[in-house]
Structure 1
Amino acid sequence: MANLGILGRSVLRKSNESVRLTIIIFIGMIFGFLLGISFSSVTITKLRIPSSIFSYITDKNSVIYNHQWTTVRSQNKDSSFLKPSEASKIHVPTNPRGAERLPPGIVSSESDFFLRRLWGEPSEDLLKKQKYLITFTVGYDQRYNIDAAVKKFSDNFTILLFHYDGRVSEWDEFEWSKHAIHVSARKQTKWWFAKRFLHPDIVAPYEYIFIWDEDLGLDHFNAEEYIRLVKKHGLEISQPGLEPNNGLTWKMTERRPDREVHKETVDKPGWCKDPHSPPCAGFVEIMATVFSRGAWRCAWHMIQNDLVHGWGLDFALGKCVEPPHEKIGVVDAQWIIHQVVPSLGNQGQAENGKAPWEGVRERCKKEWTMFQDRMEAAEAAYEEKSWTASRSSAQS
């Protein structure tokens, strides 16, 4: 009987514990339900949850940064943070065209050709920023000449190649090519590339922009010394002197061995109506032209979108500097040889029994006439408008 009593008390105690556990679970469920309801009414900003909990989620292919909590906390700390309705009211007329709705502090209106890494701190990407830009318009057949030419330019130069034959990957045989910028468009000219890829806001970091052909011999040329002479003589638009050979077209560009720089010449009778005008002064060819940053900003706007050979442009470059007969010149002490390789001409198309280069040359001559006509028409329209405005002002 004693054993039965003990067993009875044991069963009773377990029953009481089960009842107590059941009551606790039930109360816990009710409390959890009430807590869940109240949680939905609590604002996120009242919760002090460490933002590091939400720092990032990584997987095999991506890293996703969650800035939600940082953004919310920043809004609370900075009462000047613009709400969406206020941000939409931004209008800054002095911003670049199209960016008027942006706060000026975020506007990045200029760029460059500096290569950057895909990792690390952006501020540590560039070990050196090049000060000058050299561009060559090239075909693969001239690769060894370009290889020799590039070696005349120091690491102060960004190298940019415009490929008119579509062959780009083969240039990897040259170590420097792996660090150059390559732009490819089949059967296009130097000035077609320049108009589309050398916008003044893209090349703004560079003090001087070299826009050169591929068939130039640079055995007697040093780029750093050339820059020194350009600065010394105040040239905004220039070119190296040309060694007299069958590639010499204009007397102005002929090298003079007795001086560093010349800015004028005497040409054939009747060629120069004014000794300070092209082709006797204020003149360089479009073969190996070097522009200052400011001069290029003007010249780029003068390049016509459809007149891709640039013929006639050299006669108008003086409009971009003042006075042209002082700011445009030929650097004799650093000279080159025009090798006269008709590589781009061979990219033309044979028509009506004519060789490809003949069609290209005809197009060049037509463009020269068209450019002159457009310039004269534009100047006449400007003068007429100015005269009308002046007359109206005088009458009022």
Structure 2
Amino acid sequence: MGKVNRRSFAVRKPNESMRLIVLLFVGGFFGLIIGLSLPTTRPITKLNLPYGLLHLSCIQDKNTDSSSSSQDQLLNDPSKIWVPRNPRGAERLPPGIVQAESDLFLRRLWGIPSEDLTFKPKYLVTFTVGYEQKKNIDAAVKKFSENFTVLLFHYDGRTTEWDEFEWSKKAIHISAQKQTKWWYAKRFLHPDIVAPYEYIFMWDEDLGVEHFNAEEYIKLVRKHGLEISQPALEPSKSTKGVCWNMTKKRDGSEVHKEAEEKPGKCKYPLLPPCAAFVEIMAPVFSRNAWRCVWHMIQNEFVHGWGLDFSFRKCVEPAHKKIGVVDAQWIVHQGIPSLGNQGEAQTTGKPPWRAVKERCGMEWRMFQGRLTNAEKGYYKSKGIDFTDLVLHN
């Protein structure tokens, strides 16, 4: 019986081997024919694969760049719209329908849209406000002509009360409690939203404006070619001085772009705080300068400390395009509204102290990020960052 089994196995083995060879040959032949019949530009993920391989193909499709997929559609199906020069995300739209920018112009709920706006303001002024400062803001807003859109950011949640002022009914009100103007700016002043405005004023609520006129200010800004500016400061009785000599008012001058500081405060005469510098309390940006500054604002930082030392990176040459307007000056009243919005800490620190500590912390963190970003950039260009005396 054992001999029969061995003989039977010996007879079948060559037949099975031959069958396997034939199957491999036929499979390879058909595979070659299929491969040659497919376009060379068609990715493998488009083949009709068995389920297991199809699952892997789907994963690969998900990880494939969407622009590459859309470009493939353009190549393989001209009826599919794909316009690379459109803004990111709008490549599938015909260019004639794309509206890349918006505005803050108020419109009607009725009538023909083209007839909504009989007049378009050319400038934007924003104030970050609490209702307790209503008289001060009322005085400030009246210094801005109808050429300005007025935008109030409310950190105390009180908005409807402002309607006691006639101008408030035409203003734009945005409310989020216990936030600062840089938090608002990052979220509501995107460059593509404020693009219609030639200049953007971003002001605090505690500014005295008795000696200020916005239209005259803009005339001087244009005359002296300023892309980033601020009105000169006069100290109030409560502040008893100014933080930086650069922003202090000079008598008999229209504009100044440089200043002398105390020894040790200014190592380089064309860099902040002796030039190319304005403070964050009342900055004014041209449309182009703001497009750069907005991208520099860090998403989770709210106080903006340190930004004013870096505004210069958005204009060139900074010491000529950043300046202080002496002929239109303001008073910094120094009202501690931000400190009052803080909360007492379990460590026993008062609210204002905790707020001030975060201001300093954000400044240090911002400087660290900026330095690391510049190091990374120069390293990618093969430049030794330590050899650069001035940060460009």
TM-score by length of 1: 0.76
In 2, Cα distance between equivalents of 1:369 and 1:354 = 21
In structure 2, what is the equivalent of residue 196 of structure 1? 187
The question of whether the paired residues in 2 share the 8 Å contact of 1:250 and 1:279 is answered with: yes
Tell me the residue number matched to 1:368.
363
Q: Give secondary structure in 1 for the equivalent of 2:83.
A: coil
CA contact (8 A) 2:235 2:242 kept: yes
The reply to whether residue 181 of structure 1 matches residue 172 of structure 2 is: yes
Query: Does 2:80 align with 1:89?
Result: yes
Q: CA deviation at 1:338?
A: 0.4
Q: Which residue in the other structure is 2:3 paired with?
A: none
Residue 58 (structure 2) aligns with: none
2:341 maps to 347
- Counting only pairs closer than 5 Å after superposition, residues 20-99 of structure 1 correspond to structure 2 as 89-99=80-90
Paired residue secondary structure (2:293):
helix
2:263 pairs with one of 260, 263, 269: 269
Matches within 5 A, 1:152-301: 152-245=143-236, 246=239, 248-301=242-295
Write out per-residue CA displacement over residues 292-324 of structure 1, whole angstroms, 9 at most, x where no aligned residue.
Answer: 000000000000001111000000000000000
Residue 38 of structure 1 is matched in structure 2 by: none
Select the residue among 101, 104, 118 that pairs with 2:109.
118
Aligned identity (percent) is 72
Q: Which runs of 5+ in 1 are unaligned?
A: 1-84, 390-396
Find the counterpart in structure 1 of residue 303 from structure 2.
309
Unaligned runs of 5+ in 2: 1-75, 385-392
Instruction: Please list the CA deviations of residues 75-121 of structure 1 after superposition, one character each: whole Å capped at 9, or x if unmatched.
Output: xxxxxxxxxx9796111111111000000000001011100000111
Aligned 8 A contact 2:235 2:332 in 1:
no
**Who is 2:95 aligned against?**
104
Contact kept? 1:88, 1:101, Cα under 8 Å: no
Larger C-alpha radius of gyration, 1 or 2? 1
SS at match of 1:110: coil
From 305, 311, 318, the equivalent of 2:312 is 318
In structure 2, what is the equivalent of residue 336 of structure 1? Answer: 330
Give aligned pairs, total.
305
Query: How far does residue 244 in structure 1 lie from its aligned partner after superposition?
Result: 3.1
In structure 2, what is the Cα distance between the partners aligned to 1:388 and 1:344? 42
Shift >6 Å, 4+ stretches? 85-88
CA-based RMSD: 1.4
Q: Which residue is 2:351 aligned to?
A: 356
Letter in structure 2 aligned against 1:152: K
Q: Relative to structure 1, is the Cα distance of residues 87 and 255 closer, same or farther in structure 2, using a 3 angstrom cutoff?
A: farther
Deviation string, structure 1 residues 167-191 (Cα, Å, up to 9, x no partner): 0111111110010000000000110
Query: What's the TM-score, normalizing by structure 2?
Result: 0.76
Structure 1 115/86 Cα, relative in aligned 2: closer, same or farther at 3 Å?
farther
Q: Secondary structure at the match of 2:283?
A: strand
The answer to whether residue 378 in structure 2 is matched with residue 383 in structure 1 is yes
Label 1:161 to 1:88 Cα distance change in 2 as closer, same or farther (>3 A): farther
Cα distance in 2 for residues equivalent to 1:140 and 1:88: 57
Paired with 1:346 and 1:244, the residues of 2 have a C-alpha distance of: 22
